[in-house]
Amino acid sequence: MDLGDKRKLNERKFSAKEDLPGGGRRYLLEVKGKHGWKARYVKEVDAMEETIEFYQEIYDDKNNLVEIHEKFPVDKGHRKLKEGGK
């Protein structure tokens, strides 16, 4: 798969993107839960569209970041944060 194909696939899978220094990108996708909570999936790639980092952020019904699940490059499992964020 070439750079253009990888970029198109990421743009199709994720609802938002941010350009990063050095030509990389951060892709974002928010998924709403049943009880007012939401998850945001974050994928960071380099200029060649290779994944550098992938993690999930969990927000409560007041939009406070309460948990992070780092998945790539190493799956570190869920990490609960102190009330009100990091």
Contact indicator for 76, 63 with CB cutoff of 8 Å: no
**Distance separating alpha carbons of residues 79 and 81, to the nearest angstrom:** 6
pLDDT, tens digit, for every residue of 3-54?
889 999 999 999 999 999 999 999 999 999 888 999 999 999 999 999 999 9
**Domain boundary assignment for the chain:** 3-79
Biggest CA-to-CA distance, the chain: 43
Q: What is the mean pLDDT of residues 47-62?
A: 96
Query: pTM of this prediction?
Result: 0.86
Copy the structure tokens of residue 65: 């970041």
pLDDT of residue 86: 47
Provide the pLDDT for residue 78: 87
